[in-house]
Each structure stands twice: as C-alpha cells, then as structure tokens.
A and B are shown apart, each in its own frame.
Chain A
Amino acid sequence: MKKRNVNEVLLQGNEAVAEGALRAGCRFFAGYPITPATEIAEIMSVKLPRLDGTFIQMEDEIASLGAVIGASLTGTKSMTATSGPGFSLMQENLGFACIAEVPCVLVNVMRGGPSTGLPTYPAQGDVMQARWGTHGDHPMIALCASTVRECFDLTIKAFNLSERFRNPVILLLDEVVAHMREKVTLPEEGLVEIFDRVKPKVPPEWYIPYEDTPAGVPPMASFGEGYRYHVTGLTHDVRGFPTSRPDEIGPFIARLFRKISQRFPEIQMGEVDQVDGADITVIAYGSVARSAKRAVRDARERGIKAGFVKLTTIWPFMKSVVEPVLKTSKVVLVPEMNMGQISREVKRVNQGYTRVVTLNKVDGTIITPEEILDRIIEVA
C-alpha cells in the first residue's frame, strides 16, 4: 500500500455532480426521486443544510424545476437532477427559464426510453430533447460528461455558463457515467473558477431588467433587494412587461439567440485527436466516447489511420470542430446509444464533404470498443 494522497477519492459520477454543484456555490436543490439520478438528491439533502442551503423534495418534476427557478430569482444558485421521464415533465418550466432568462442547472441522467423505458440501463436518447424538448424557439446549452472528473468539472462549468448567460444549462450524463466510480483528485478549494451572475449597478429607478446590452445579457436583480420588477413567461418588452408589438418581440428573441451565438468559443469544449488526414474519424460523447477512444487506439495498432473527436459540449452543436473533420476525413463514424441523434447534426454540417456512417445501439447496453472497432474495419 502506498502513502495515501488525501485529495484522492473514489467518487461516483452522481457524487461528483453533487460535489461540483456545492463547489460552484449551489445552495438550492429541488428534485423528485428517479433512477438513475437519485443519488444526487440524496447527497444534496444531507450536505445543503450544513451550508445554510436548502433541499426540498417536491411532489413531481414540474414542481421541482418551478421551485428551482423561484429560488434562482432570489439570487440563489439552484439546480435539479432527473432522468428521462422527469426531464419530459420539466420541459414546460425549462422553456420558462429560457424566456425569463433565469439561471439554473438541470442534470439529466439518461436512461433507456421512451416513457418509463429502462430505469437502470444506459442510453443517450435525450440529446435531441435537450435541444428541442420545449416548445418555441430558443438557444440551449447542454454539456455531456464521460468521466467522473468531468461530472465534477462540467457541473461547475454548467453553473458558470448559466450565471454568465442567464440561460438554463443541461448536463447530460448516461447511466454508465452517473453510476461509475473512478479515482479522482478534486482541485483545492479556491482553485476553481466560479462565475456569479452580474447584478445591476444602477439605482433601482434606472434599472431596465431586460435591457439589451452589448453582450446581450442584462444584469439580473434578485427579488427582495430593492429592484422591483416583473418576470413573466409571456414575451416581454425590455421592462419585463408583456408585449405583442412585433418591433419588441423580434429584437427580444434575436437577443436570446445572440447572447449565446456570439460566445460559442466560451461554451464549446471537446477533444480532437489525430484527425488530420484520417482514414476514419470517430465522433462520440458520454460513455460511448470512452469505448470509441479505445476502439480508435486498437484501430491504430492495426495500422488504420483513425482520428477521434469527443464532444463535451453537445449544444450549441460544435460545427466549428466537426466541419474541418468532415473536410479531412475519408469517413466519419458516429456511434451512439440511440437511433441516431448527434449523427443527424453531423450529417447536417456535412455538405457533401465526406461519408458519415453510424453505429446505433438501443438495447440497454453500452456500445463496446469491439463493436466500434468492427465498424471501423468495416467502413474504413
């Protein structure tokens, strides 16, 4: 036995999410029990009260996200965690958080679906729901972790992006990552970059809550701090009051998009390895990215020039990373635990540059390195 490093711990993905959330400054959690995300709620119920935070188990997932948004309006960093069925219920208030620009973090541990589906088995079937699950048009930020350390880091990143852009941020895990335990060394307290929402500096009578700013993200006042303003799920003017004027509606929706699209480089994260002149490049995310990495390594040992791309940011889709890969690879393979969701995005970006092939699995089991390697050999 070696001398133990006290910062090294064996953590489960869900535990790392909870640790990351607390480190990011999350002080409010509302949720509803659901496999395979429940551990996050259990940990938060124990740890939040110690930090003067609040945990509540609501009557359903709709209520959970409602409470999270309410808490966030008081200036409290807030989150919830769920799985597919609960994520479906949350879509209503997710849209509210988008239009009212209320920061919050929503963790969705994906399991097999549709409906109750496969509670204890992994899937990646909620990728498109994360983007298009609500009604109406709005941008969305979704990140996807494939290691326990990433569960920690991306939860913090999710809070930072949410506070920075006043937009809900979805963290997608799959059952494998959420329940996997790995040895991680968590960074020391104070070494983690934390972003807090910008509050108004003007006196209350000058405050225009939804004013357009150069960055498109208006400062956000907290309820109870003297800035009395109106928050609504109706399309609103710069003062937050409902509007039906086309000259106010258009610029408002445009700003919602602009605040995200202008800042893609700050949001988009991933890993790109040996894609130049690759015979084949594998694009993957979540736990499948780990299988893909292994398969790419095995393919290289067999003399195949294989490239690898891991998408950490799922939405907004990383066109800037994927497009060059499509231009330089002879074939692009997208393995996913669904019937083809990110592959649709890859095909959308692929304007005739190359051949895009898929490997889809929806039987409740992870895609193995052998399966990806077989497909690589088949199509390369």
Chain B
Amino acid sequence: MEEFTKLIHKYLRHDKKFPHVWCPGCGIGIMLGALIRAIDRIGYEKDEVVLVSGIGCSGRLPVYVDFNTLHTTHGRALTFATGIKLAKPGLKVIVVMGDGDAVAIGGNHFIHAARRNIDLTAIILNNSVYGMTGGQYSPTTPFGMRSTTTMYTNIEHAFKISELAVTAGAAFVGRGTVYHAKLLDGLMEKAFLKQGFSVVEVIAHCHTQYGKLNRLGGPVEMLQWQRDHAVTVESAARMKPEEMEDKFLIGVLADRDLPVYTEQYERIRQRAKAGQGKDA
C-alpha cells in the first residue's frame, strides 16, 4: 500500500480538481495503474513522457497524471502523437484511446500509424461501447448485442483490434484485460520498451452502459466474464480449436523487429544533407 501511495503522489497531478469523471467500478483506473507502474519501473522521467488521448472516457485519462498531456479531437490522437514524435523523437509518446476512438473515427489513422511503424505506444481501452455518450454501439460491439442505437440487436460484426494491428504492421501487439492486472503491467512495459509501433488492447467492461443494456451484471460479474473467457497465448497453444470458440487470446500476439520510422527518417536527413539519393 505504501508503494501505491508513493506512486500516487509522484504521478497524479496535485493541482487537478478531483474526483475523476469515471463511474465507480470502471476498469480505466486499473489500466491507468498499470500504465503508471510500467513507466515507473522503466524509469522514464516525467518530462520525457507525453500522454495523448482522443475523446470519450479514455480521453479524460491524461488530465490526471503529471506528464506532458494532450487531449485531442475524437479519433485523431495518433495524428497529433505522430507530429510530436517526429518533431521531438526523444520524447516517449503514449497514446490512450477507446475502441470508438481507435477503430471507428480514427480507424484510418490507426492502421496507417501501424503501417508506418512510428515509435509510439497505442493503448486501446476496448469496452465494446461508446460509454461517455450513453451506450451506443461501437465497431467492437459483438454481433447480436444491444446498445442504445441497436435496441433491436447489433447486426454488424466486431473488429478484432489486436488482430487488425498485427495485419496493419505494428511491431508489438499485446492484449490484456483489466481483470488480469499483472499481465497488463507486463504488456505495457514490453510495449513501452519496444522500438516501433506498439499496441496494447485492454479488454474492459462498461457496466453502466453495455452491461446494463445486455443484462451482464455489475462490474464484478463482468470482471468474472473476463477471467472466464480470456486464454493466454501459452494455454491456447495446448487447446483444441473448438475449446477456443467463445474465448479470446491474451498475452503477446506479435513482437517483431521492423524498420522504425524515426530512425529511417534520420537516415533520409543524412542522405539529403549529403546531397544523395534524390534523383536516384
């Protein structure tokens, strides 16, 4: 507990007006805790960390923590982060988004940031719903579920965010849940240390909107669902396909060394200065 108090004092803003905006029982706090613990373990200076967010519940996260923080427009967090990283590559730029943010309005930015392999970490809180605006369906709302805009049930199919990131070319992709907090700590640390575009998808619950509309219970029941349906990559390797049908993978889904944009661009600068390569 003493450790926690130290972290709270070190990383939470003293001059920010609390309480925070999140509902009691929300998983965002667990995600924020994992993020702070990973940063603390790696030992980044607070001045070198930039925390960027989009819009929605996750968008409100940076304001509480004592880094360089930027709360951008809906879906555009990665674009702002790209500008920051390219203009000042020495900064550690972490982007926090929701599922609507990252793969609906910002879906294009997401796949292109992954494709470029910009050295950013994207943390995506996936709670399957637009929480802040009142429970409308998102691109990760499962087929057949209810939301305030799919009251007759959802007939669209959900994006698998991590698999999308792997396909789009991210260097590191990990998925965790807010139930598996220890795993999340480790995934965040790995993602921050990875050179290139790293993604951590955090499966979370929104009992206030999604849970209520689909009669999934409160935060406890929804956390239990995460416990019962998440399977680590290691365990899955020993399981039959039919056993995996209603399960999802957690752990490291991709970890590969690819040319990193900022390093490649520095080479372009050197070639440009030497007068090489433009006509070749």
Contact = CB atoms under 8 A, between A and B. Distances in A.
Direct contact of A and B (CB under 8 A): yes
B101 to A, nearest CB: 13
B91 interface: yes
A226 B67 CA distance: 9
B17 interface: yes
Interface string A207-245: 000000000000000011110111111100001011000
Contacts of A63: 76, 79, 82, 108-109, 112
Most buried by A among B66, B70, B273: B70
B86 interface: yes
A92 B79 contact: no
Interface string A228-269: 111111100001011000000000000000000000000000
A231 B70 contact: yes
Nearest to A59: B112
B79 A226 contact: no
Nearest to B16: A241
Given A223-B50, A223-B84, A233 B73 contact: yes
Contact of B79 (A66, A225, A241): A66
B278 interface: yes
A327 B102 CA distance: 56
Nearest to A239: B15
A145 B72 CA distance: 32
Given A224-B50, A228-B47, A242-B63, A54 B79 contact: no
Nearest to B110: A59
A66 B80 CA distance: 5
Contact of B83 (A50, A67, A228): A67
B47 A226 contact: yes
A70 interface: yes
B88 A228 contact: no
Contacts of A223: 50, 68, 70, 84, 88, 91
Given A63-B109, A66-B73, A225-B47, A58 B82 contact: yes
A71 B87 contact: yes
A165 interface: no
B265 interface: yes
Contacts of B269: 49-50, 52
B146 interface: no
A76 B63 contact: no
Nearest to B77: A66
A75 B90 CA distance: 14
Contacts of B15: 239
Nearest to A77: B87
Contacts of B82: 30, 56, 58, 63, 66-67, 70
Given A49-B268, A67-B80, A224-B91, A233 B69 contact: no
A28 interface: yes
Nearest to B271: A49
B69 A230 contact: yes
Nearest to A104: B83
Nearest to A233: B73
Contacts of B17: 241
Given A46-B272, A59-B109, A232-B63, A28 B86 contact: yes
A124 interface: no
B71 A54 contact: no
Contacts of B13: 230
Contact of B87 (A64, A66, A74, A92): A74
Most buried by B among A93, A232, A234: A232
A203 to B, nearest CB: 13
Nearest to B60: A242
A62 B77 CA distance: 11
B76 A66 contact: yes
Most buried by A among B48, B69, B273: B69
Q: Which 3 A-B pairs have the closest CB atoms?
A: A70-B83, A66-B79, A67-B83
Interface of B: 13, 15-17, 46-48, 50, 52, 62-63, 66-73, 76, 79-88, 90-91, 108-109, 112, 265, 268-269, 271-273, 278
Given A50-B273, A225-B47, A242-B71, 12 more contacts: A30-B83, A59-B112, A62-B79, A63-B109, A66-B72, A66-B82, A70-B79, A75-B88, A96-B73, A228-B67, A230-B13, A230-B69
